[in-house]
Chains A and B, each alone.
Chain A
């Protein structure tokens, strides 16, 4: 398996998904070597071999160039040698070299399962040089990250090449499958959809919500306010200006609504500005970046969780919110909306409908309670076991495709 991160050295959902998937696959009898582009210890990964492709610290896996100048970098980590200041392309090249060396010295694997564009070049090399069946797993495309606008042309090229060369492709949703087909012209028959599941530890983790922690919000709730929230990076992909405009519409009918925007990102300042322009600053709270217990607290305080993304390959935060008993309102352009039925849905551009849905939940206890009750029954219907079974099926197809039994 070719990946870019594993917990605890992960920056987002990719590492968590890879970890859970590998664990479930190993439970089903798969023997996994997992290559990461950095040097670090990974606890709880006894079920597979984690291989370190470089000597880099995990923080440099996207390359030094992702940060500012060498000078500034020098100040942060003075003992860092110049030759370590590499770009992401160089990290990828190193990663590729490592995989090549691995294939020369080890028994050839039955399949290579490569996660996202970062690892595709290594996967393509393995397929071309060593004739190993390649499975490209798409957690997100560059089109998603760019909010369906044109993204980085280099990334598009790598993505395109990886998808073309792959024997089979796994997409995390029908939405993603459609994008792969429409933007990269890959035949639908080559793509299988395998949804993600909620992190297992998320459900068993010891957490309890203390309703005395956030007395201001609690007092608002006592006065009949409804708390609407969204969680994520403030990037163009997340469709947050649309959510703010819908909020403004909803508040014009009912001002007992509080909108919590949890997260941070390049759109933060413009979102704050837009909030002021719309005259709803009193109803909107920006928390900044949060994780762990605080994030769970936000979910716990929330009545309605909105996923407003313009394009969301899956949308794991919706399942987390459901775990904490929130009502879900999901953009139809999210993968998670394909598998969740007990939720309200809308098209990301339809601000009036989103406002309608928020107001209906806020004002009809029967609707709110039905949605809360029913989502509890279905949010964990996709298990990692099912994910692993589907992956194994895809492996078999890819091997057949290569004439291997």
Chain B
């Protein structure tokens, strides 16, 4: 038996606009900018919906119908759901139909796609609970498997998930941690009772997510037969291939004209032509075998950059001071019991915001490799801090 565990992460942040110091105290609209502006959430969501969400969901749904053995898992952030409900509710109905087939599993996470776990445990737990509530309301399921934002994982997080009754948790299969071990097995996080650990096979995942359209890559163009042969070869070191990637890989990161949709469509069918091959959801994957080993990750590992750490979110002084000031407001914000104010504050915890302030590669001037809604990391920080000032002003009035 060989199994592919396909897990797709679907997310859009709610971006704050170019919020001026002259707006502070006068205008508390942070998130709704005019449709043509650089930070228009509506424009960006609709664009990605057209390029990625609709065609890929259609492709997946058609395959679910055609192949009852086809299965996959989805994590959907709360900020995506909020926007889909307003801008394109059909997307949610379609996902609901797919979940109802029993072939699609929803993974738990924070509602706001935040890194609250590393700042404030109470806030983290509340955001996870909010997400579970939203998933129950919209899809009538309760997540049993957990993934943290950016796949940021450490032993402490595993202990938390274990104590909350999750059966499985997802993390990056980074060589430095795995050493001689393969990501193609089920593991047990060190010191946990029942929790299982699934690790991303980053080479085979990134072949699709990052390298697929790269003409400078020696393996370009990637064909289905070639990729199938890699999958089979990789099964020599364990029969579970965890392909974890952004949903937006399909149509947004890799455009339609690269052939990514045709590739995926054919891959699903061709994989299933061999009787010993199958697809599994994350819960099923964890039950394929007994844990092969215990794994400890005292330091935080993420799925980002070559460093696989949190440095893209919290390494420079702007990111640190922005997050410090943000979380220091929490008690005061919550004590107002003003839902609008609390929601405005929580939307600032989305990890995309400190990511936009990242300067790691900025002075290289490689602006094309840099996706951001802001003209520079410095501007991203400026407007963020102005929003914080207005929040403080509103606390004073409340």
Contacts and interface: CB of A to CB of B under 8 A. Distances in A.
Chains A and B bind each other:
yes
Contacts of B379: 344
A370 B378 CA distance: 8
A253 B376 CA distance: 24
Contacts of B22: 249, 253, 352, 355-356
Most buried by A among B318, B362, B385: B318
B320 interface: yes
A54 B386 CA distance: 61
Interface in A246-268: 249, 253
Contacts of A359: 21
Interface string B353-365: 0000001001111
A364 B321 contact: yes
Contacts of B367: 341
A126 B316 CA distance: 56
Contacts of A253: 21-22
A360 interface: yes
B321 A352 contact: no
B318 A342 contact: no
A364 B377 CA distance: 14
A352 B363 contact: no
B177 interface: no
Contact of A374 (B21, B321, B363, B386): B363
Nearest to A376: B363
Contact of B365 (A249, A339, A353, A357): A339
B318 A367 contact: yes
B381 A364 contact: yes
B188 to A, nearest CB: 41
A327 to B, nearest CB: 9
Nearest to A371: B378
B381 A366 contact: yes
A367 B22 CA distance: 18
A369 B378 CA distance: 11
Interface in B8-56: 18, 20-22
A364 B376 contact: no
B72 to A, nearest CB: 40
Given A339-B365, A364-B381, A366-B381, A345 B375 contact: yes
B20 A345 contact: no
Nearest to A359: B21
A157 interface: no
Contacts of A355: 21-22
B306 interface: no
B386 to A, nearest CB: 7
Interface of A: 249, 253, 339, 341-345, 352-353, 355-357, 359-360, 364-367, 369-371, 374, 377-378
